[in-house]
Amino acid sequence: MLSVPLTDLPFDFRARALHWGSQFIYCAYFEPNDLAYPSGTFDRILAVAATATNTPGTLTALREWLGSAPAAAPVCGFVTYDVKNEVEALSSDNFTELDWPQLHFFRPQVWLHWRTDTLEIYGEEIEGVLAAILAASAPPSTPAQVPPLRSRMPKSEYLRAVAAIREDILNGEVYELNLCQEFYAEQVRLHPAAIFLELNETSPTPFAGFYRWHDHYLLCASPERFLAHHPPTLVSQPIKGTIRRGTTPTEDEQQRFTLLHDEKERAENLMIVDLVRNDLARVAKTGTVRVPELFGLYPFRHVWQMISTVQAELQPGVDLIDVLRATFPMGSMTGAPKIRAMQLIEHYEYSRRGLYSGSIGYVWPTGEFEFNVVIRSLQYRADTNYLSFQVGSAITYDSVPEREYEECLLKAQAMLEVLGVASL
């Protein structure tokens, strides 16, 4: 291990490190943006591997793989929304151009861990690693070349879907359903690391991340924690409730007050909190599931978010795979009840979600782990020049279709800014 005082590093060292790391076929970068957040944030970690290995493709294989060799580094990876098909008797048959593997984890050959005052470098040839990063430049600030974005689900059809879901709710099929839509462009030219840094600057969040898997890239500005395990506590923090920030302090406070007292948003949040409580109870010690914060309001660059915190203590012998089977996909991205909601999502949506609504994260050798919810994210394929992002909102019987569509556009705001797109 090599430890370097942060004061000895250039101001743009993180940008140089990401540019260096993004050249590897496996690259995972987790960015907390030094934001205060209940129960903590991502650690700032950059992990890379240069060679493809036989990595797990299912949860069953992942358990065997994690136990196959002693870990000396954090294992990094992602789980796509389509892992639901392994957890439940479901399928994913909608269109996709992204084609991520169902899940992917890797053991880094080199990894960097930013501490409060120092940078720690682990792995192979660490002296050469530091020299290579210092010799690198920051990613080029060449603007992305993005043709007009198109919607996989035209607005008129989105509005009809919301109306149909309201009928499903009236008929007792679900209480709430998260409906998402894809916007995409073809023949896009961009530098993934540079666009991620711009997105991170435009919309700093506590669970941001960059992930490369071969020619596939995820540029993620997520404000939402899916799961954190700091023994003996397991924490989930679902987000349900969104309103734009005000342009003045007075208007901003009025927006916060409006969200806090919005009965529809509170109902959405409470339904998902109940779902998460039930999910965690499947792997928790009896009587340990609790909700230390309900309807917490947190400001981000563009929006206020309503966030609740659910905690539990894990049963002895429960591992990551047990937890994922009990809780995945996250209730904030499905609806309730979860299985019927996922069946209806497959019916109403036009695009396969893939890594959107999935999770990226890391597992420490101690068994601690941290995973986010992949939202507010760009997905890009450098081999086909296909760019995509998805946005959604929770539909309840009180939903107004036009307002739900406007919420989707609000959540897309930061991504549109970095792409240089004025509107959809």
Q: Is the dihedral of CA 351, 354, 355, 357 positive or negative?
A: positive
Active-site residue flag, 240: yes
286 CB-near residues (< 8 Å, 6+ apart): none
Catalytic residue among 176, 224, 404, 407: 224
How many Å apart are CA 411 and CA 392, to the nearest integer?
8
Q: Token pair of 411, please?
A: 């959540």
Catalytic residue among 84, 86, 176, 240: 240
How many Å apart are CA 235 and CA 288, to the nearest integer?
12
Active-site residue flag, 417: no
Q: Token pair of 224, please?
A: 């939402």
Q: Token pair of 416, please?
A: 């549109």
How many Å apart are CA 124 and CA 358, to the nearest integer?
31
- Which one-letter amino acid corresponds to residue 37? Y
Contact 28, 210 (CB under 8 A): yes
List the catalytic residues.
224, 240
